[in-house]
């Protein structure tokens, strides 16, 4: 047996959690070196096991998604979880590209001796979103797909983010996208489909915030910010929720932008109301720097959604809405929910991304809902999925005769055919405890079976 | 622009497929070096994109699995796709351990300079089955689970197998397992649940082959093979399907086993019939080397299943059934389907595996169905998932007025509430082609909407 030293305090302070991880690692090392067979029981850092109670809610939400989006004509597709490292590192993914779980080359392709950097070791990685794979999917399979193509994707994605409460390194994303439709009816369709879904999942009083990347750019141009600085300006603007108008002013001035520009810029946000009138104000103000169809289309999107909706939500024109990803080219949207205190989904138009794969540009617009957040909110509410049919359990005495067993299993089969959930299990010594457990799982009827 | 040479013929002959891969790589290299942004369009080697027609069947099979197993009391759970490399390399996975997709360490944990082998570079990998993660799951969460626990898992697994027709490197597995139930009622439950499912998916006339690892060992002991050679003997026996009794005899003799042992061994298989009488013959023959309850229990399993089943299948006692994994400890089973010409699922009892994680042994038995094979068979049959409700498409003229748009979207919402699938899309120039595409997707009603 060899010994190895752990030096846990190499960096500043350690949190209790970090310390516990180091200690666990030490114990594990000692055990395994000592020949003890114990393996690691916990899931890998930042990922989680999902128990039946949560799975029931997840399955329910997934089936609601499939059926609701289905009635809007969206069709399910799937891409592999593993994607070419070149596609994942194509600069389409912004910050997420730093968080890729990379997969080692295999067999003779792995040349450890010759490798001088990480890039020499890997040829693929786990997808960090569903948009990059969708673009690849569409360019590879467009010959077999209708145009426009309305896609529904539900699948796991992975990001090696710093683990924190409620954020995991593997999580489910759920996206709808319309590919090959340049007109704004696509945006209306996505917003109505998403809000109908949220309504069916019993979410009320949320807001759909909407803006347009072209309005965002026009506002920056109108205020006289130099074009190469717009991304910086938008990063600061994006903090409006948290730091307010004064905070944004301070940060912009600190960045060295001219007082004139900053004043002109912030004046817009004071003038613009969060509704159709606000869009009209923008159209007026920005008429020299913005194609007037942009504001007209945004107005139509808001108007048609407001007049059509049956669900209980508000359409909010929010000129401060940025959405991080630089690939957006037109309207952008986000769902805000007071209950959650943040975004539970969003999307927008990204007309140029698919062209990066095909060379031929294809219009595209998508809306992603925060599946994990929705599940979390339902769990916190104590939501119970409506149970279908009765639940009955047979508890069998040990060593039942084959005849008795046949009788029980045959009866259970007949009951299942009637829609009853029937579980057959051996009778435990502590019958009361066993029945309590089964009751907690929703069983209401118990039959004890004995040989005599 | 730098140039790089590709020398594709370094190894013997190349297949057309390999050659095409090398050429694609060359072209890709030239494009990217030339500044062209094209990315890789095809999925990574051995994995596939799933188009709507296949997804519809997959979703149908998954919902049948969930509902059928649900009525037997199995509960859905999920584990992360990423698993500790230690757990994946614990020798529970047999040959599959050679096929792991390994994940690179991240951040400061990756010390490329100091790495002397692959093991220094990785800390996790993609799971190659659902059994190892289930064992970890149960040992981590048993405090919150009922005993016995009836688990249903559907999830992707990854194996870096040599790609070949119909076999993929990412594929869905679907397992049911009963943990904490030592008695054979668990086996009966698993077999009835699985056969009920196959019946509901419209598979008829298949066989469930059954054997017991303890009978397998007893037969080897009875024939006088030395215990340390049993695994070798079983590997040859496993080929009975393909090479027949004579082939097995030749291979055993070639391995140097005594003629006496080989004759005694093969005599058993000639005597034993593929039914309950066969089990009784084994019980008689092997009475000195086999606990008689083993055969008695196997007999009961077969009898109860045969007398209970409503589905159309045969129970076959097959003393040559081996099942590769050495972790099996009791009854083992496999589904054979003539239509497929091979196994479409299997399982068995593995009472010792969970103990490797917990130190405390836990009985366990599982049955896995070949999800991908079932989907493939349904696709080959041209199976159509029963369509629910009508499908209607609105084709919109360009630049419809907001009022007209509102009218259409509102009407569509009302129709969806009635269960109709309604898709709204822009009218294409080639209306006939557009309607043909929509007809292929199942749309039967078309409404053209104009401004006037």
CB A230 within 8 A of CB A346: no
Is residue B355's pLDDT more than 60?
yes
CA distance A328 to chain B (A): 18
Closest residue in A to B68 (Cα) is A416
CA distance B106 to chain A (A): 8
CA B116, B101, A138 angle in degrees (round to 5)? 130
B320 at interface of A, judged by CB pairs closer than 8 A: no
pLDDT 10s digits, A388-402: 889 999 999 988 999
A interface test, pick of B47, B73, B116 with most A CB neighbours within 10 Å: B73
Distance separating alpha carbons of residues A49 and B134, to the nearest angstrom: 10
| DSSP SS3 for A58 | helix
CA separation (Å) from A364 to A49, A187, A243, A329?
35, 10, 33, 10
DSSP H helices, B315-364, are 353-358
Identity of the residue in B51, B82, B423 whose CB atom sits nearest the CB atom of A77: B51
Helices B259-271 and B276-285 meet at what angle, rounded to 10? Answer: 150
CB A172 within 8 A of CB A65: no
A224 at interface of B, judged by CB pairs closer than 8 A: no
Distance separating alpha carbons of residues B349 and B326, to the nearest angstrom: 11
Q: Which helix (H) or strand (E) holds B406?
A: helix B402-417
Identity of the residue in A59, A124, A304 whose CB atom sits nearest the CB atom of B409: A304
Residues 6 or more apart whose CB falls under 8 angstroms from that of B267 comprise none
Q: What is the CA radius of gyration of chain A?
A: 28
Instruction: Report residue A290 as tokens.
Output: 């913005």
Q: Inter-chain contact B303–A40, Cβ cutoff 8 Å?
A: no
Residues of A in contact with B39 (CB under 8 A): 84, 86-87, 90, 136, 356-357
For residue B120, the 8-state DSSP code is G
Is residue B78's pLDDT more than 50?
yes
Q: Inter-chain contact A308–B75, Cβ cutoff 8 Å?
A: no
pLDDT 10s digits, A230-263: 999 999 999 998 999 999 999 999 999 999 999 9
Give the phi and the psi of residue A334 in degrees, each rounded to 5: -150, 145
Q: Inter-chain contact A102–B101, Cβ cutoff 8 Å?
A: no
Q: What is the CA radius of gyration of chain B?
A: 28
Distance separating alpha carbons of residues A181 and A204, to the nearest angstrom: 30
CB A99 within 8 A of CB A118: no
- Half-sphere CA count of A60, side-chain side, radius 13 A: 20
CA separation (Å) from A236 to A171, A245, A344?
28, 10, 21
Is residue B358's pLDDT more than 80?
no
Judged by CB atoms within 8 Å, which residues 380-439 of B form the interface with A?
389, 391, 393, 396, 398, 400, 402, 405-406, 409-410, 413, 416-417, 419-426, 428, 437-438
Q: Inter-chain contact A38–B357, Cβ cutoff 8 Å?
A: yes
pLDDT 10s digits, A287-338: 999 999 999 999 999 999 999 988 899 999 999 999 976 789 999 999 999 8
Judged by CB atoms within 8 Å, which residues 277-296 of A form the interface with B?
none
CB A317 within 8 A of CB A275: yes
Q: Inter-chain contact A192–B357, Cβ cutoff 8 Å?
A: no
Is residue A7's pLDDT more than 50?
no
How many contacts does A have with B, using Cβ atoms within 8 A?
310
pLDDT given for residue B209 in this prediction: 97
* Burial label, B140 (beta-carbon count in 10 A; 0-12, 13-18, 19+): middle
Closest residue in A to B389 (Cα) is A71
pLDDT given for residue B4 in this prediction: 41
Identity of the residue in A56, A78, A87 whose CB atom sits nearest the CB atom of B40: A87
Q: Inter-chain contact A86–B425, Cβ cutoff 8 Å?
A: no
Closest residue in A to B140 (Cα) is A41
CB A105 within 8 A of CB A140: no
pTM given for the model: 0.89
Residues of B in contact with A183 (CB under 8 A): 398, 426
Mean pLDDT of A156-173: 90
pLDDT 10s digits, B401-433: 999 999 999 999 999 999 999 999 999 999 999
pLDDT 10s digits, B272-320: 999 999 999 999 999 999 999 999 999 999 999 999 988 899 999 999 9
Is residue B365's pLDDT more than 50?
yes
- B35 pLDDT band, cuts 50/70/90, is very low
Instruction: Report residue A249 as tokens.
Output: 């002013």
Average pLDDT of chain A is 89
Closest residue in A to B417 (Cα) is A71
CB A384 within 8 A of CB A58: no
- B195 pLDDT band, cuts 50/70/90, is very high
CA distance B263 to chain A (A): 35
Mean pLDDT of B374-389: 90
ipTM of the modeled complex: 0.89
CA separation (Å) from B434 to A148, B157, B299, B444?
9, 38, 61, 13
pLDDT 10s digits, A258-280: 999 999 999 999 999 999 999 99
pLDDT 10s digits, A91-109: 766 677 789 999 999 888 8
Identity of the residue in B43, B308, B358 whose CB atom sits nearest the CB atom of A413: B308
Mean pLDDT of B74-99: 88
Average pLDDT of chain B is 89
Greatest alpha-carbon pair distance for chain A in Å reads: 94
Distance separating alpha carbons of residues B183 and B305, to the nearest angstrom: 15
pLDDT given for residue B9 in this prediction: 43
The closest alpha carbon to B409, from A437, A311, A164, A373, belongs to: A311
């Amino acid at each position: 047996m060899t010994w190895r030293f752990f030096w846990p305090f190499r960096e500043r302070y350690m949190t209790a959690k970090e310390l516990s991880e180091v200690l666990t690692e030490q114990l594990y090392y000692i055990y395994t070196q000592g020949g003890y067979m114990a393996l690691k029981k916990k899931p890998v850092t930042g990922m989680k096991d999902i128990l039946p109670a949560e799975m029931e809610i997840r399955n329910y939400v997934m089936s609601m998604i499939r059926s609701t989006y289905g009635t809007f004509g969206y069709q399910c597709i799937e891409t592999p979880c593993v994607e070419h490292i070149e596609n994942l590192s194509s600069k389409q993914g912004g910050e997420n590209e730093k968080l890729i779980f990379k997969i080692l080359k295999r067999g003779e392709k792995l040349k450890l001796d010759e490798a001088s950097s990480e890039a020499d070791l890997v040829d693929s990685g786990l997808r960090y979103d569903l948009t990059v794979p969708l673009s690849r999917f569409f360019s590879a399979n467009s010959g077999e797909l209708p145009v426009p193509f309305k896609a529904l994707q539900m699948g796991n994605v992975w990001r090696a983010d710093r683990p924190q409460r409620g954020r995991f390194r593997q999580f489910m994303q759920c996206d709808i996208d319309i590919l090959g439709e340049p007109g704004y009816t696509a945006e209306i369709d996505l917003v109505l489909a998403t809000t109908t879904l949220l309504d069916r999942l019993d979410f009320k009083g949320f807001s759909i915030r909407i803006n347009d990347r072209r309005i965002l750019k026009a506002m920056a141009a109108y205020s006289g910010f130099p074009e190469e600085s717009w991304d910086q300006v938008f990063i600061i603007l994006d903090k409006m929720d948290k730091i307010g108008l004064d905070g944004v002013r301070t940060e912009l001035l600190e960045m060295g932008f001219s007082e004139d520009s900053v004043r002109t810029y912030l004046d817009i946000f004071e003038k613009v109301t969060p509704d159709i009138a606000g869009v009209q104000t923008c159209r007026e103000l920005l008429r020299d720097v913005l194609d007037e169809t942009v504001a007209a289309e945004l107005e139509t999107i808001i108007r048609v959604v407001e007049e059509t909706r049956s669900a209980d939500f508000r359409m909010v024109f929010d000129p401060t809405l940025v959405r991080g990803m630089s690939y957006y080219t037109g309207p952008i949207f986000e769902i805000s929910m007071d209950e959650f205190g943040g975004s539970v989904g969003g999307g927008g138009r990204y007309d140029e991304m698919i062209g990066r794969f095909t060379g031929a540009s294809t219009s595209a617009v998508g809306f992603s809902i925060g599946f994990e957040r929705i599940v979390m909110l339902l769990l916190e509410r104590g939501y119970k999925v409506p149970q279908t049919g009765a639940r009955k359990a047979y508890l069998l005495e040990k060593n039942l005769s084959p005849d008795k067993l046949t009788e029980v299993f045959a009866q259970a089969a007949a009951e299942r055919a009637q829609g009853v959930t029937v579980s057959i299990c051996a009778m435990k010594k502590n019958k009361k405890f066993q029945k309590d457990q089964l009751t907690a799982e929703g069983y209401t009827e118990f039959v004890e079976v004995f040989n005599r």
